[in-house]
Structures are given as C-alpha cells and as structure tokens.
Structure 1
Amino acid sequence: MSSILNIRHDWSIEEIQGIYHTPLLELVYQAATVHRNFHNSLEVQVCTLLSVKTGGCPEDCSYCGQAARYHTGIKVKSLMSRDEVIQIATRAKEAGSSRFCMAAAWREVRDNRDFDTILDMVTGVNELGMEVCCTLGMLTESQAQKLQQAGLYAYNHNLDTSREKYEEIISTRTYDDRLNTINHVRKAGISVCSGGIIGLGETHEDRIRMLHTLSTLPVHPESVPVNALARVKGTPLENMPKTDAWEMIRMIATARILMPASIVRLSAGRAEMSGEEQSWCFMAGANSIFTSESEELLVTPNPGISQDRELFSLLGLKPMQRINNLEKEAVYDLNK
C-alpha cells in the first residue's frame, strides 16, 4: 500500500494493468485510502459547464452530437454574448459552483472577434472569484498565453481514448494534436483538465493505455474527467450499449491511485447512474461533478441541482470551497 501513496510519473503499462485488474472491492479500498491521504473525502468540487457556442463543429468525433456532419437534431447556436454568460455564471456561483467551464464547438481557436469575446468572458468570470475553465479545441502557444493573461484558471482538452483506438473515433484531429495543445496550456501556466470517455467500444487495454499516457505526463493533469459515453441519436455510436457503472468505478479508482493529487471528475453519464452507483464512484476517489440548472451537460442529460443536494445530504458530502489568491468562494448549500 505504501508504494501507491506517492506521486509518480514513471508508471509502467504492467503496473497499471495490475492495478486496473485488482479485484474490485480491494481496488476501491486502495483507491479510497489514497484519496484520504491527499484529499478531504467529504468534499466534492461542484462545477458548472456552459455551451457558449453550440453545434456546427467541422470535426467527426463519433460520439459528439455537435458535429455538423451528423443529423442529431441539435440546434446550432452562435457565440453567446459576454453579458449573458456573466449572468449565468453569477447564478451558478450563487447556486454553489466554484468552477465555471465554458465550451465552444470549435475545432480550433482562431484569432478573431469571437476569441476576443471569449477573452472578455474569461476576465468577467474570473472577476466573480470563480475558477474559470474553457474547452475550445486546439490552441497555439500564443492563444494559451492570451487566455492565461485574461485570467483563465484551467483548460480542458481530453485525450478521449488510447492512441491505438483514437483513429477509429476521430479522423479530423490527431492524438499528437491533443498532446500539443496540452503542452501549450501547461507552458502558459494554466492548469490542465484532461481525461477520457469509456464506452466507445474500446478494450480494457485501451483504457489502461490512456491512463498510462495521462499518468506519465511530466505533470499530472490537475483535473481528470472520467466520462461514460452519452449515446446521442444520429451519431455513429448511438447504438453502443450503456456503460456499466462498475466499469466507471474501476476506471475512477485506477485514475485515483495513479494520479493521487488530481481532482478526478465524475462527468458525463451521471444521468444514467443511480445514487448508489454515484456513491461508489465517490468512495473510489471521484471528488468533482458537473451540476446544472438546465439539467444538461452541454447537449446531453445531467442531474439537476436538487438531485445533487439530496445525494450530498444523504452521503454527508459538502461542496469544496475554492481558496485561490486568498479568495474564499461561496459554499454550495445542499441542505437548504
């Protein structure tokens, strides 16, 4: 056990295989022990994710309802205004979120008026005292630096799956493109949010290899989202089977052991999980969720605030308070 209580960046594939295939109850026990050595096990970071530009993306990600080439029925929406976003972020903070994430369905950031508007949004949300995160597609070094100067706290850019599986899921962006963007974000001094999706038809070995890539980066991602495939009608993966909750629990537990100081986020797929299944995820080391006043996570279902309040109350969990630059964030009162 003592060997897994250290932060390491030299994990081997064989070591990760051994952890991943540990009998589940023992795996959860080990992950819970690691979690308690690095985090307050009763605190969960509450985040809000907003689609500031929806649909019309030129990429061909097989899971994504926002790809223009698929007929998903999702309404394309142009970039929101700064004022509208700040109003939503303010409500999110009042509801208890300490991190506000803005997503735009772009392949890459372009240096134009839309990017200038994003920079204004970042500055505005940062002034609210929230951790502000963006996911905008690929970035250059200079664009990452501009986001950092505007006050960006974190940038999300998921690997999605293993390098070996990747080309079956996406052809319009390479695996190295993703790693390059992560490097640009890191160089700019922005924290990295990067994880993946299970349920894409990948093997256990693919999951292990993706975790190997993440856990052997020179610096672990500060946030590691673990997503279950949201099966969007009209996408190539719409008929994939529902991801088994025990697979999510195994993935979360393994990520927790490999990257002990990171926030491990239980992300997409919660809407199809029972309270009991989500509870196992928290036991296994998940300590972040997305919540939503609209009960959507971008364009897929997500539990609402009232459901999360009930679950937190039942489990005795409380929202993580962000303390950054000596600013103490509002508490998400899940008991009211």
Structure 2
Amino acid sequence: MENTKTLRHNWTKEELLEIYNKPLIELVYEAATVHREWHKADEVQISTLLSVKTGGCPEDCSYCGQAARYHTDIKVQALLPTETVIAHAQKAKDNGSSRFCMAAAWREVRDNSDFDRIIDMVKGVNDLGLEVCCTLGMLTENQAQRLQDAGLYAYNHNLDTSEEYYDEIISTRQFDNRINTINNVRKAGITVCSGGIIGLGETNEDRISMLRTLANMEKHPESVPINALARVKGTPLENNPKVDIWDMVRMIATARIVMPASMVRLSAGRIEMSETEQAWCFMAGANSIFTGERQTLLVTPNPGVSEDMQMLKNLGLKPLVKEKESACKAN
C-alpha cells in the first residue's frame, strides 16, 4: 500500500466494505503495514478506566448493565471522593498506564456540585502527568470548555453503532445527540475518543457505516475504541452470541487503514479472548488496551494488570511511555 502520509475524510461505503471483506491475511498485512508507517509497532498504550459513579443511569442502552431499568447484579455507587480517584490514578501510573479515564453513569453532565468535583478530579489527575480522559454522557459546549480549562486531554463518547441501527439499541437519545457532543468537545480543543461496539445484532453494513461516520469527520477521532459486546445478565442483549474474533480483527484492521493516525483501542471483551487472539488484534493495528483495577472494566470482567503486562512481554511489546507535556491541554 502506498504511503502518502495523508488522511482521507471522504470514504464511501463501498470502499470500506471492500477493505473489510478482503481475504483476512491480506487485510491484516495491509493494516500492519499502515500501522508501522504511522506508529511504533512495538508500543501499546496502557489506559486505565475507573468508574467514578456507577449504575442508576436513566438511559436504556440495551447492552449496559448500569441502566436503572434493567435488573442486574451491578450495585449503584455514588460519585467517589476526589482523593480516592487521585489515589487510583497514582496506582495506575505506577502500574504503567499513561492515560487515566474516569467514567460516570450519567445521561448528561449537569452544572452542579458533582460536576465541580469532576473538575477537581481532572485537575488532580492532570497534575500526576497522565493523559486525562472522561466519559460523562452528553456535554454542552460550555461544560466542555470547563473540562478543557481544568486540563482534560480527551473525552470519550462512543457512537456505539451505525446511525441506521441506533434506534434498535437506544431510545432515550438520538444518534445526533452523540455527534453534537463530539462537536462540542472539538470546539473546546479537547481530543476525541469515539468508537463503537460490535455484537449488538448489527450487520457488517452497520459496522462499516459506523466506521465511515468516524473516518469522514473533519478531523478523525484521536482514539477509536473497538469493543466486543460484554454480555451482562439482566440486559436485553445478555443472550447475544459471543463476538467472533475474526470480526474483531476485521474491524480493528479496517479502522487502522482508514484512520491511520488514530490510536485504535482494543477495548471491552478481552476477557473472552486468548492471548493468541489478542495478538492478532495487535497485528491488525490495535495499539492500546484498557485495564481496570480489581480485574474489571467499568462493571464487566477484564484481564488484570499483571496478566496484561505478561502478555505484552510474551509478544515483545512494551507500554507506551508519554512525557508529562502530553497531559496538558490539547491545542
């Protein structure tokens, strides 16, 4: 594949389907080639995700165990104390993480004392020299600016699925609400983390449509998480089949080819993947994984930090090390 070191923002659905449906070995080879042209192939960013407020969400996302309307075993947890969050962030840094993401099960950010506490958390984590990321639900432009002023580096707001399939998964908000939040984040000068979930019952065309929305944005998301559905008992999708590893590999490879400069994050679902299967994902262009304390990723099982570090060692990979300046405000 010819490398022109330029980014495209005008992909057609047909072009993306042609990439996605290539013979698997050819697809992975092409993605690995692109990956090496834009990134150091032996580096993987370790990102730690902490749920700072768990459960009780009024949304009806069919995959999510934190939705209040579903009967799951997940316990509601109020917003954690700021000092507790900072301690978690310090531990994450000590364990090799260069990015720390704080998640709150909110539909949207409200201008209240809880948001003031989030601002304090962002300032504290930023002071540790980590890239600070938040995922808090819908966000106004003014709220995004407050987060940026506090030192927020990235905001996560996944599309989840295609615009066409979106209403089958969520009814309490619209696809355009997600796009609006991403636009507000961009206006504030915060980097964007946005990807989606496969295994929701969507078609390959839906997967491609989601990637096309991301790849045709005026500026590609700096981070693109690819999640395999974590089937949570008590949610409408609890009986969906396990995502096939080759589907994950195809999604990661396609994302890498069409958004070559982005960090492609191998996210939820790793607990059901063998080390060999994860190695295929790294070969296909994934260069970040999420870890979580107590072997959880938010509220679903996840490999432990020591297990992940051993895997990276086995594969000849190493944690990406970033300088403190990376945690400063995005330009």
Q: Report the TM-score range of the alignment, normalised by the length of the smaller protein.
A: over 0.9
Can you give the 5+ residue segments of structure 2 that lack an aligned partner in the other structure?
A: none
Output one character per residue of 1:293-330: Cα deviation in whole Å (capped at 9) or x when no partner. 310000000000121121111111000011352789xx
Q: CA deviation at 1:73?
A: 1.6
Aligned to 1:48: 48
Paired position in structure 2 for 1:181? 181
Q: Is the 8 A contact 1:4 1:34 kept in 2?
A: no
SS at match of 1:52: strand
Identical residues among aligned pairs (%): 71
Indicate conservation of the 8 Å contact 2:131/2:326, yes or no: no
CA RMSD across the alignment: 1.2
In structure 1, C-alpha distance between the alignment counterparts of 2:193 and 2:324, rounded to whole Å = 17
Partner of 1:222: 222
- How far, CA to CA, are the matches of 2:49 and 2:231 in structure 1? 19
For 1:200 and 1:5, the matched residues in 2 are separated by: 34
Moved more, 296-305 or 285-294: 285-294
Match of 2:256? 256
Secondary structure of 2:9's aligned partner: coil
Aligned residue pairs, count: 328
Matching residue of 2:196:
196
Question: Please, what TM-score do these two structures have when normalized by structure 2?
Answer: 0.97
Q: Following the alignment from structure 1 to structure 2, what is the Cα–Cα distance between the partners of residues 268 and 116?
A: 29
Aligned to 1:152: 152
Structure 1 length as normaliser, TM-score?
0.96
1:9-158 mapped onto 2 (5 Å cutoff): 9-158=9-158
Matches of 1:294 and 1:270, distance apart in 2: 15
> Structure 1 stretches (4+) deviating beyond 3 angstroms?
3-6
Secondary structure at the residue paired with 1:325?
helix
SS at match of 1:92: helix
What are the superposed Cα offsets for residues 201-237 of structure 1, whole Å, 9 maximum, x if unpaired? 0000000100000000000000000000000000000
Q: Structure 1 174/67 Cα, relative in aligned 2: closer, same or farther at 3 Å?
A: same
Task: Assess, with a 3 A threshold, how the Cα gap between structure 1 residues 326 and 202 changes in structure 2: closer, same or farther.
Answer: closer
Q: Deviations over 1:3-22 (max 9, x none)?
A: 68631111111111111111
Distance in 2 between residues matched to 1:32 and 1:261, nearest whole Å: 13
Letter matched to residue 189 of structure 1: G
Letter matched to residue 50 of structure 1: L
1:126 touches 1:152 (CA, 8 Å); kept in 2? Answer: yes
Instruction: Tell me how far apart the structure 2 counterparts of residues 132 and 5 of structure 1 sit (CA, whole Å).
Output: 28
Q: For residues 326 and 181 of structure 1, what CA distance do their matches in structure 2 show?
A: 23
Change in Cα spacing, 1:298 to 1:327, as seen in structure 2 (3 Å) is: closer
Q: Deviations over 1:79-99 (max 9, x none)?
A: 001000001111111111000
CA distance in 1, matches of 2:32, 2:241: 29
CA contact (8 A) 1:48 1:101 kept: yes
